[in-house]
Structure 1
Amino acid sequence: MAEVLKTADFPWWIAGGYAIELAIGHELRPHGDLDVLVLRRDQARAQDCLAGWDLHVADPPGTGQLRAWGVGEVLQQPLHDIWCRRTPETPWSVQLMLDEAEGEDWVSRRDPRVRLPIAHLGRVAVNGIPYLTPEVQLFYKAKQTREKDEVDFEAVYPLLDRDQRAWLLAALNTTAPEHPWRRRLQSVS
């Protein structure tokens, strides 16, 4: 995907479990696909980068129902997940996720009260690949925590600095005030 997006003139970030692995510097577990985050406002340019790929949007979101993403089609909220594969004969390999922005701020599509300057949304791995900052990735994983999300939390939690922990705690206080990760985050914030 880094090769496909190498000429992209818009920000993009590896997300999901791979983002956690890029943050910690080693593999934790197998993955079914690769998650890539782009801002909704850049979706046309992302579609251009993936020209020739088989692209389908989850419509409605979360149902597993897919329909082709038409060339030049502008996806509006709540649509945000695009399943990607090189050809219709190959397995799905990339999930392109659209997220919101207002000016220079990233805005969570789940709750617009959760924000972060776009300049702080990602980092760059030693191999030059941009990835979603761990606290934002953990925020997404906190919605419906699965065993793999707990593994990811435990692996990256020790690497979060005070500001990252405080941001994640504030985001969880806003959106999931009963989430069990809050206790760990409160103990050092």
Structure 2
Amino acid sequence: MSADVLGCWTPDRPEDVAAVFAKADFPWWIAGGYAIELAVGRELRPHGDLDVLVLRRDQALVRDVLGGWDLHVADPPGQGELRPWHPGEVLPPPLHDIWCRRTPETPWAIQLMLDEAVGAQWVSRRHPAIRLPVDRLGRTSESGIPYLAPEVQLFYKAKAARDKDETDFQAVLPLLDVPARAWLADAIKMIAPGHPWIRQLLPVSRM
């Protein structure tokens, strides 16, 4: 999506988002590159946007939290087109990408991502067999900011890894325990068999 067409970004910082969502009574997580930075505890690179992940079933509650904001949904997804997310409108799959700014005159500040859930299980929108309990989907930083578990964030980055995604992977890899590495390797195998990250995640005996 071109900033020339859709408007410029000045992304919020994670602490800004935490203030916006302070009264939220539903789960939410900082996602994207900022989630990796919260996991490793240091800045890694510049960011062009800031992602926040919420469950699709909580979208009406999200609208309440962002009351007064200017919200647009990518429709159709990935085609460089935005349209207003109208009050009271329920977004069905595959719509999942929402750009948020405080007013139409201000830069975009938050990119809201809707993900699926069935009961207590998070379900990846990339592959319905890839799941986790919702209460294992995130972590909390030392400053109290919820962020997406790094293995889940790396799964989303693996499909079309860019240089910045490789930077994120190498930075957080030493922090992943054995169960997280195994889950991520198995998840990547479902969407990208032969991905180079798999070899780095698994011992030779699991290859």
Q: TM-score, normalised by structure 2?
A: 0.90
Q: Which residue of 2 aligns with 1:89?
A: 105
Unaligned runs of at least 5 residues, structure 2: 1-16
Distance 1:77 1:138 in 2: 22
Matches within 5 A, 1:17-166: 17-166=33-182
Q: Partner amino acid for 1:41?
A: R
**Aligned positions, number:** 189
Q: Name the SS of the counterpart of 2:186 in structure 1.
A: helix
Matched, 1:172 2:191: no
Aligned 8 A contact 1:80 1:99 in 2 = yes
Deviations 1:131-162 (A, max 9, x none): 00000000000011000000000000010000
What's the CA shift for 1:187? 2.6
Aligned 8 A contact 1:32 1:93 in 2 = no
The alignment-based identity, stated in percent, is 70
Unaligned runs of at least 5 residues, structure 1: none
What's the CA shift for 1:58? 0.1
4+ long deviations beyond 3 Å: none
Distance 2:66 2:47 in 1: 21
Q: Partner amino acid for 1:75?
A: L
> Comparing both structures, which one devotes a greater share of its residues to helix?
2
Distance 2:159 2:64 in 1: 31
* Aligned residues: CA RMSD: 0.9
Q: Partner amino acid for 1:175?
A: I
Aligned 8 A contact 1:14 1:130 in 2 = yes
Q: Partner amino acid for 1:35?
A: D
What's the CA shift for 1:185? 1.0
Aligned 8 A contact 1:139 1:172 in 2 = yes
